[in-house]
């Protein structure tokens, strides 16, 4: 299995990463811990070996099951909005390549990540780089349902375009907790930060439009 074989992180890769980080800073990313995590994690490990050269361009890229690894900028932006503190319990919907998952773990979060595509979930079981992070738990399931037995969570991040705010996820968010959700039924979604207030209601802030693959109901076990 190709993904189980460790790969190299060369000076060339590190240099390309430094350039990518410069680009993210120019685009407005400010959080030093987020920047350090992106500088540290070899994003090329998350693409198939033949496509490594695209890993340090600020672009999304197709992965297994016709899904995508998000733009580096989008990962940095969503992570910055989450304001991760060490030991935060974070629910991630849409493991995908697990790149965002590792960025969260690198910031000290305990990550509970759900993926609805069996093929992607299985692939990550053998991915050598994930073995580095003991604080990541992955689940094959439907993100609309969340993980009630593991909640409530300090933070929730959705990395697929959500047609609506999932009620069950709101219920699994702590008071004072934050959910970052790209909301919208079309190709473009609005990035929202929802903060759960004392009375259980949600304070809503908007952060511009983004484009994600859709958040879909149910699991998919096709290979
Ligand atoms: N964070 C990932 C993004 C992957 S794209 C990365 O950067 O690699 C979004 C992912 O969300 C896809 O893998 C898709 O299968 C998954 N997804 C969509 N709807 C879902 C749902 N209801 N539950 C769990 N995962 C879902």
The SS3 assignment for 2 reads: helix
Is the pLDDT assigned to residue 39 strictly greater than 90?
yes
In a domain, 59, yes or no: yes
In a domain, 167, yes or no: yes
Query: How many Å lie between the centroid of ligand 1 and the Cα of residue 216?
Result: 9
Q: For 19-32, what is the mean pLDDT?
A: 98
Q: Which residues are catalytic?
A: 70
Mean model confidence pLDDT for the chain = 96
Query: How many Å lie between the centroid of ligand 1 and the Cα of residue 159?
Result: 6
In a domain, 223, yes or no: no
Is the pLDDT assigned to residue 1 strictly greater than 80?
no
Is the pLDDT assigned to residue 49 strictly greater than 90?
no
Is the pLDDT assigned to residue 56 strictly greater than 80?
yes
Query: How many Å lie between the centroid of ligand 1 and the Cα of residue 199?
Result: 30
Torsion of CA 66, 70, 72, 74, to 10 degrees: 160
Q: Can you give the three-state secondary structure of 24-56, one letter per residue?
A: HHHCCCCCHHHHHHHHHCCHHHHCCHHHHHHCC
Whole-angstrom distance, CA of residue 162 vs CA of residue 144: 9
In a domain, 13, yes or no: yes
Is the pLDDT assigned to residue 219 strictly greater than 80?
yes
Range of the domain at 159: 2-210
In a domain, 221, yes or no: no
Nearest CA to ligand 1 atom 19: 215
Is the pLDDT assigned to residue 53 strictly greater than 90?
no
Q: For 148-165, what is the mean pLDDT?
A: 98
Nearest-atom number in ligand 1 for the CA of 216 is: 19
Is the pLDDT assigned to residue 130 strictly greater than 90?
yes
Nearest CA to ligand 1 atom 23: 143
Nearest-atom number in ligand 1 for the CA of 215 is: 19
What is the pLDDT, as a whole number, of residue 223?
67
Q: For 59-65, what is the mean pLDDT?
A: 93
Per-residue pLDDT reduced to its tens digit, 132-149: 999 999 999 999 999 999
Q: Which of 47, 99, 116 to mutate to test the pocket of ligand 1 (most atoms within 8 A of CB)?
A: 116
Residues in contact with ligand 1 (CB, 6 Å cut-off):
67-70, 93-94, 96-97, 99-100, 114-117, 120, 142-144, 159-160, 213, 215-216
Instruction: Say which CATH number the domain at 189 has.
Output: 3.40.50.150
In a domain, 110, yes or no: yes
In a domain, 220, yes or no: no
In a domain, 222, yes or no: no
Per-residue pLDDT reduced to its tens digit, 171-192: 999 999 999 999 999 999 999 9
Say what percent of the chain tops pLDDT 70: 100
Nearest-atom number in ligand 1 for the CA of 160 is: 9
Q: How many folded domains does the chain comprise?
A: 1
Per-residue pLDDT reduced to its tens digit, 71-108: 999 999 999 999 999 999 999 999 999 999 999 999 99
Q: For the chain, what's the residue count?
A: 223
């Amino acid at each position: 299995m190709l993904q189980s074989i460790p790969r190299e992180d060369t000076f060339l890769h590190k240099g390309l990463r430094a350039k990518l980080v410069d680009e993210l800073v120019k685009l407005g990313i400010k959080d030093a811990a987020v920047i350090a995590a992106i500088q540290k994690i070899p994003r090329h490990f998350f693409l198939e070996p033949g496509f490594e050269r695209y890993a340090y361009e600020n672009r999304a890229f197709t992965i297994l099951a016709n899904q995508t690894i998000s733009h580096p900028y989008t990962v940095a932006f969503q992570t910055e909005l989450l304001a991760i503190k060490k030991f935060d319990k974070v629910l991630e919907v849409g493991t995908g390549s697990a790149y965002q998952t590792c960025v969260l773990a690198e910031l000290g979060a305990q990550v509970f990540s759900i993926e609805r595509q069996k093929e992607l979930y299985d692939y990550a079981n053998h991915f050598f780089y994930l073995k580095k992070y003991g604080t990541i738990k992955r689940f094959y399931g439907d993100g609309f349902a969340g993980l009630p037995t593991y909640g409530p969570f300090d933070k929730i991040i959705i990395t697929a375009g959500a047609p609506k705010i999932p009620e069950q996820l709101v219920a699994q968010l702590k008071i004072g907790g934050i959910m970052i959700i790209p909301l919208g039924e079309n190709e473009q979604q609005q990035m929202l930060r929802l903060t759960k207030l004392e009375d259980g209601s949600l304070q809503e802030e908007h952060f511009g439009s983004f484009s994600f693959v859709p958040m879909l109901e149910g699991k998919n076990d096709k290979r």
